[in-house]
Amino acid sequence: MSHPLPLYRPRRLRKSAEIRRLVEETTLGSGDLVWPVFLLEQEGAVKNEISSMPGCFRQSLDQLYRELEELLPLGLSALALFPCIPEEKKTRACEEAYNENGFLPKALKEIKKHFPDLTLFSDVALDPYSSDGHDGLVRDGKILNDESLEILGKQALMQAAHGADFVAPSDMMDGRVAYIRSVLDGEGFQDVGILSYAAKYASGFYGPFRDALDSAPQFGDKKTYQMSPGNFKEALREAALDEDEGADILMVKPALSYLDVIHGLSTSTALPVAAYNVSGEYSMIKASAKMGWLDERTVTMEKLTSIKRAGAKIIFSYHTPDALRWLA
């Protein structure tokens, strides 16, 4: 040949599945995944499929227990709980959010009793409980910040008292992490962690989730408290504030359109970084797979691996049950 052959051949490390596994830089494992579940307050094994999230269900506790009996042996170790609140219990003052006799505290207590080793993340925000559909209290069309903190603190305290391992403020109110940490510590719950939705963007990918909980805002949008999709440095500022205020884990939401934010945050903090692979990202793959345009298993595992490669130590994903089966 007229030109020298290459001395180094990267293909040597790709020539068999065994070698590729040996040198793979990022590997996805069952311990990386958290399963978000939508809970119904109904007796018996009930599950209702969410039309915009094929394969995802609103389900009763009895049905959840059946699912867990299958998934725990596959490595499932954590749940994120989202209760479906009936319309008649939604109010402007969001009293149901901290009702000691409500469905969520019962669910937390019962799940912990049946599965004590499961790690439970409990969402702290007012939109599922608000007749206005916003993450904070509303007055004269304005989402109130400081007035909402007291309600969020009561909500977090109730969840901690009933078995949450982590409370997860997703509301994006300023100062809520410090306020919640103070409330929890003041009541003796120093061991309950805070997973902060530190960089939660005002995204179009949340639509199916709002269908699942019927929690869409009744007016306007959430752009006065959720972040602009064009901002990166702001995410680092938000995360730094939450870290200083006492957060234990920092969340980026959504995941797929914000891999650069996940990576940037993972290199700027010593705290674990989580990412939420949200409902719209899930439903796009499900719809494409149904049409035969994509191979669901291949693209799902590629997507989840890319989120981990970007720097996420924890991935919240509706794909979790399928991913656990595929990993097994």
Active site residues per annotation: 200, 253
Amino acid at 52: S
Closest CA to 56 of 283, 234, 221, 217: 283
User: Running DSSP on this structure, what letter comes out for residue 91?
Assistant: B
Helices and strands (DSSP H and E) totals, the chain: 11, 12
Could you tell me which residues come within 8 angstroms of residue 327 by beta carbon, excluding any fewer than 6 positions away? 28, 29, 30, 74, 75
**Both structure tokens of 148:** 């909402």
| Residue labelled with tokens 């901690």 | 160
**Residue carrying structure tokens 């064009």:** 230
Residue of 129, 124, 91 whose CA lies nearest to 108? 124
What is the Cα–Cα distance from 216 to 305, expressed in whole angstroms?
30
Coil vs helix vs strand at 133: coil
